[in-house]
């Protein structure tokens, strides 16, 4: 089902009116950046919570800076615009939110200067990203991850997702659930649209950002939860492909995939071949938290609707177009 509304050119308008021409620079050259957020419906409070919108929009603006974009919004402005949009949609269910900043000029010429960027945001009902979050069978891709000096992976640059699409389609067609992509050094970078963690000998490890991975918000969230809630070690360090074969547990994380257990890689079981205990515990902490049900992390959950609930702030930033 199509969204009813879009935030487009500084206003919330009917989705059917948020259109671009076929010559649009971003459509021809991939010169856009995007974000991906989730809204979680909390039934008992009749409230929609967006998870860490300020952090998502900060990364969105930084992705824009990588592409030399001058965007007339702050992260607070965009959060306000999102709240306006979700209220217009009257979104009272779990949803996925897609902000996009794109070079809108309709002319020929490969460059990222002297161009005009526009911002859009749309939201749509959303459930699970993967059909199988409990026991994914993955393959190591023959495609290599884009390098910082090719197209920076630390930001969400639209054109770079052709790299993810190559890897994902080949993996799905070969019968796997997802894909692990290596960087040019042969170290694990991440999945097609998710960061990667493994657990071995009692410590978690995740590739450092300098191994060409996205600066994931869920990655950052889980590093904190592993240390503060599980009281376990997390190392940010290069990970060899064969460490995965010897791992006790592994999972992908991201706004879309949430926490998806990896239980097999190229027909080899990881650990017992079933979701591990630490992964299961993290999921038990994560899911109530993102829905606003953990007071300790309530600050990460941004309420959308006016509410009489005492723990929910009634303040919000309204969008100002500078
Ligand atoms: N890596 C890639 C390549 C992604 O596309 C995503 C999804 N945004 C992630 C990691 C996870 O990032 P986040 O936790 O910020 O959603």
What does the chain come to in residues?
A: 322
Q: What is the DSSP letter of 101?
A: E
Ligand 1 centre to CA of 15 (Å) is 25
Query: Which one of 3.40.50.2020, 3.10.20.30, 3.20.10.10, 3.40.640.10 gives the CATH number of domain 136-299?
Result: 3.20.10.10
Beta strands in the chain (DSSP E): 5-8, 11-14, 32-34, 37-42, 47-51, 95-103, 117-125, 136-144, 178-182, 188-190, 195-200, 203-206, 233-236, 249-254, 258-265, 268-269, 301-303
Q: What is the pLDDT of residues 91-142, one digit of tens each?
A: 999 999 999 999 999 999 999 999 999 999 999 999 888 778 899 999 999 9
Q: Which of 156, 168, 296, 322 is catalytic?
A: 156
pTM of the model: 0.94
Place of tokens 């054109």: 159
Token digits of residue 27: 């459509």
Q: Whose CA is nearest to atom 9 of ligand 1?
A: 194
Query: Which one of 3.30.470.10, 2.60.120.620, 3.10.690.10, 2.30.110.10 gives the CATH number of domain 5-127?
Result: 3.30.470.10
Query: Known catalytic residue: 168?
Result: no
Q: What is the pLDDT of residues 5-22, one digit of tens each?
A: 999 999 999 999 999 999
Ligand 1 environment, Cβ below 6 A: 36, 164, 190, 193-195, 214, 216-219, 254-256
User: Which pairing describes strands 136-144 and 178-182: parallel, antiparallel, or unpaired?
Assistant: parallel
Domain span(s) for CATH 3.30.470.10 in the chain:
5-127
Ligand 1 centre to CA of 295 (Å) is 25
Q: Whose CA is nearest to atom 11 of ligand 1?
A: 254
For the CA of 36, the closest atom of ligand 1 is: 8
Instruction: Dump the DSSP string for 134-165.
Output: SSEEEEEEEEEPPPTTTS-SSS-BGGGHHHHH
Domain span(s) for CATH 3.20.10.10 in the chain:
136-299
The confidence score (pLDDT) of residue 308 equals: 57
Q: Which residues pair with 58 in a beta bridge?
A: none
The confidence score (pLDDT) of residue 320 equals: 36
For the CA of 219, the closest atom of ligand 1 is: 14
The confidence score (pLDDT) of residue 316 equals: 37
Spell out, as residue ranges, where the chain has pLDDT lower than 70.
308-322
């Amino acid at each position: 089902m199509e969204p009813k509304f879009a935030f487009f050119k500084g206003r919330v308008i009917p989705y059917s009116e948020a259109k671009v021409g076929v010559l649009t620079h971003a459509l021809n050259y991939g010169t856009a950046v995007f974000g991906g957020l989730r809204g979680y419906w909390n039934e008992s409070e009749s409230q929609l919570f967006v998870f860490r919108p300020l952090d998502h929009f900060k990364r969105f603006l930084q992705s824009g800076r990588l592409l030399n974009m001058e965007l007339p919004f702050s992260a607070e402005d965009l959060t306000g615009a999102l709240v306006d949009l979700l209220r217009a949609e009257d979104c009272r269910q779990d949803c996925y939110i897609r902000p996009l900043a794109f070079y809108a000029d309709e002319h020929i010429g490969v460059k990222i200067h002297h161009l005009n960027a526009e911002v859009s945001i749309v939201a749509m009902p959303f459930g699970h990203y993967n059909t199988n979050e409990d026991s994914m069978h993955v393959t190591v891709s023959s495609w290599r991850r884009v390098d910082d000096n090719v197209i920076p992976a630390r930001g969400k640059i639209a054109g770079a997702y052709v790299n993810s699409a190559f890897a994902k389609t080949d993996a799905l067609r070969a019968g796997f659930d997802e894909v692990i992509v290596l960087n040019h050094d042969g170290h694990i970078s991440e999945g097609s649209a998710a960061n990667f963690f493994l657990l071995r000998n009692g410590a978690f490890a995740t590739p450092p950002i300098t191994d060409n991975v996205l600066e994931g918000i869920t990655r950052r969230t889980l590093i904190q939860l592993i240390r503060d809630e599980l009281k376990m070690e997390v190392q940010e360090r290069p990970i060899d492909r064969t460490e995965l074969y010897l791992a006790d547990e592994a999972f992908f994380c991201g706004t879309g995939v949430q926490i998806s257990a990896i239980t097999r890689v190229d027909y080899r079981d990881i650990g017992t071949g079933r979701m591990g205990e630490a992964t299961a515990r993290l999921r038990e902490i994560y899911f109530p938290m993102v829905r606003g049900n953990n007071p300790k992390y309530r600050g990460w959950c941004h309420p959308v609707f006016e509410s009489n609930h005492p723990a929910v702030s009634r303040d919000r930033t309204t969008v100002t177009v500078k």
